[in-house]
Amino acid sequence: MLSINQLKILISIIFLWLLAEPVHAQCPAPKAYTNPVISGFFPDPSVVRAGDDYYCVNSTFEYFPAIVISHSKDLVNWQQVGHVFSKSEDLDLSYFFDGMGIWAPDISYFNGDFYIFYCLVQLSKDRSTNVRGNYMVKSKSIYGPWSKPVQITDFGSDPSHFVDDDGEHYMLFAAGIPTGNGTKIVKLNRECTKMVEEPHWMETEGKKAAPEGPHMLEPKVEARLLQELQVQRHEKGLEIGTGSGFMAALLAHRAMQVFTLECRPALAHMARESLRRNGVVNVKVLEVSAAEGARGLPGEAPFDVILLSGSVAEVPRTLLQQLKVGGRLAAIVGELPIMRARLFTRVGDDAWSDVDLFDTVAARLEGFGEPGRFKF
């Protein structure tokens, strides 16, 4: 039998619990974002992080002012903050055809400087006119003033700026159909105002191809993942996301047999030919759809090693099930701004362990799902 005081305490607890329930129900769950996060005329986005801020640039073609700049703190809510070109004497776009002009700007940030590489394209429908070139401007502030444009090449398009660990600058760009047969990379001077070496072909054996904006993991990231996988000579491996074929070649150097999956025909062909030229005979490059690639290769399972050459929101269980007991899977997992390289090990018929290796960022692999979000 409860005493009067105990009964009062119990009633008070129940009352407070009932009072708290509506408050709890009204607390909103994290809001979901809705694509497109930047609606309207904002094609070919390129994003860079500088400190706690994100900046995005977009193609503006023949329109002026040119190369719109947007700012965000969370990659979801964006606000326009300016343009690279607002004076016609800096850039004359009046003679460009419809849809021509500035294509595919690339924004980067290094050592306190913002860099924007872009291409100017004048292309007629019958290609009787086909003029391209890659340019660079830079500024200490995202709000300008921006330097005068410097022409790096008088051919090619879709430039991408890369700075290696030693501070050396490079530009990757599409060579352009009909004269191109792949992608070129060129070393620049420290000011990024001119080439210091001739462009190097990542070629496709003379086949006409112009891969658009491909991404490749930094070699140090690939080397670390390979080291953590501890591949043995007798083992069989699977890579998802062939790209140039570089990682497949590294895996093949250590493993007995490697299968690698690629959803872009031009890249699959380029990797296949590059591996053949370099005498790598224990790799099989398979061209698949993005959805097929995300499912792995169950017909050849089980594997000792699986590597995802790109990032995913989460690793599908169907891939983990394609490991042998004792097999390892390495992937870059998470969402911007934080991703982590993670190593999974199958420790039993229905059991896996995992360990985070290091923080990094990589482009998304196509075909893999994104986590569900609450919507209100």
Q: 254: domain CATH number? A: 3.40.50.150
The rounded distance, in Å, linking the Cα atoms of 87 and 70 is: 19
Examine residue 313 and state whether it is found in any structural domain, yes or no: yes
Q: Is residue 259 part of a domain?
A: yes
Q: Looking at the structure, do residues 139 and 233 belong to the same domain, yes or no? A: no
Structure tokens at 136: 């660079």
In a domain, 334, yes or no: yes
Q: For residue 127, tell me if it sits in a domain.
A: yes
Residues 185 and 311 in one domain: no
What total of structural domains would you count in the chain? 2
Q: Which residue from 258, 238, 267 is spatially nearest to 363, judged by alpha carbons?
A: 267
Nearest Cα residue to 292 out of 329, 259, 251, 245: 259
350 a catalytic residue: no
Question: Most confidently modeled of 15-24, 302-311, 353-362?
Answer: 302-311
Position 10 in a domain: no
Please check whether residues 133 and 234 belong to one and the same domain: no
Please write the tens of the pLDDT for every residue from 108-160. Answer: 999 999 999 999 998 888 878 888 889 999 999 999 999 999 999 988 888 98
Question: The domain that contains 130 carries what CATH number?
Answer: 2.115.10.20
Q: Specify whether 50 is located in the same domain as 183.
A: yes
Residues 229 and 194 both lie in one domain = no
194 and 263 housed in the same domain: no
Q: What's 351's DSSP letter?
A: E
Of 176, 203, 230, the residue at which a domain comes to its end is 203
Residue 16 binned pLDDT confidence (cut-offs 50, 70, 90): very low
Catalytic residue among 44, 235, 239, 262: 44
Amino acid letter at 25? A
pLDDT of amino acid 25 = 32
- CA pair distance 183, 156, nearest whole angstrom: 9
- Of 343 and 338, more confident: 343
Q: Tell whether the model's pLDDT for residue 14 goes beyond 50.
A: no
- Is 44 one of the annotated active-site residues of the chain? yes
Q: What is the pLDDT of residue 22?
A: 36
Entry pTM: 0.61
Q: What is the DSSP letter of 149?
A: P
Flag whether pLDDT at 27 surpasses 90: no
Would you state the pLDDT for residue 72? 94
184: its two tokens: 């070129």
- Mean pLDDT over 237-246 rounds to 92
Q: Tell me, what amino acid is at 88?
A: S
Residues 199 and 80 both lie in one domain = yes
Tell me: do 168 and 286 sit in the same domain: no
Q: Do 133 and 250 lie in a common domain?
A: no
Residues 265, 232, single domain; the answer is yes
Handedness of CA 187, 200, 274, 333 (dihedral sign): positive
Q: Tell me the per-residue pLDDT of 192-202, one tens digit each, with 9 for 90 and over.
A: 999 998 887 76
Q: What does DSSP say about strands 257-262 and 236-240: parallel, antiparallel, or unpaired?
A: parallel
Confidence of residue 18 (pLDDT cuts 50, 70, 90): very low
Q: At what angle do helices 219-229 and 246-254 cross, to 10 degrees?
A: 30
The last residue of one of the domains, among 152, 175, 203, is 203
Q: Which domain holds residue 328?
A: 219-360
Is the pLDDT at 83 greater than 50, yes or no? yes
What's the whole-number mean pLDDT along residues 160-183? 77
Asked, for residue 99, whether it belongs to a domain, the answer is yes
The Cα–Cα gap between 49 and 38 comes to 17
Give the pLDDT band of residue 19 (cuts 50, 70, 90): very low
Please state, rounded to an integer, the average pLDDT across all residues of the chain.
84
On whether residue 128 sits in a domain, the answer given is yes
Alpha helices in the chain (DSSP H): 4-26, 219-229, 246-254, 265-277, 290-294, 317-320
Question: How would DSSP label each residue in 228-267?
Answer: HHT--TT-EEEEE--TTSHHHHHHHHHSSEEEEEES-HHH
Choice between 199 and 6, residue whose per-residue pLDDT is larger: 199
When comparing pLDDT for 203 and 54, which is higher? 54
Distance CA 135, CA 120 (A): 8
Taking 80 as the threshold, does the pLDDT of residue 352 lie above it? yes
User: Which of 74, 191, 212, 370 is labelled catalytic?
Assistant: 212
Please compute the mean of the pLDDT values over residues 235-259 and round it to a whole number: 93
- Going by pLDDT thresholds of 50, 70 and 90, the confidence category of residue 30 is very low
CB 71 within 8 A of CB 79: yes
Predicted confidence band at 215 (pLDDT cuts at 50, 70, 90)?
low
Both 151 and 256 in a single domain? no
Q: Say whether pLDDT at 91 is over 80.
A: yes
Do 198 and 50 share a structural domain? yes
The residue among 138, 168, 203 that closes a domain is 203
Domain membership flag for residue 120: yes
Residue with tokens 């983990």: 320
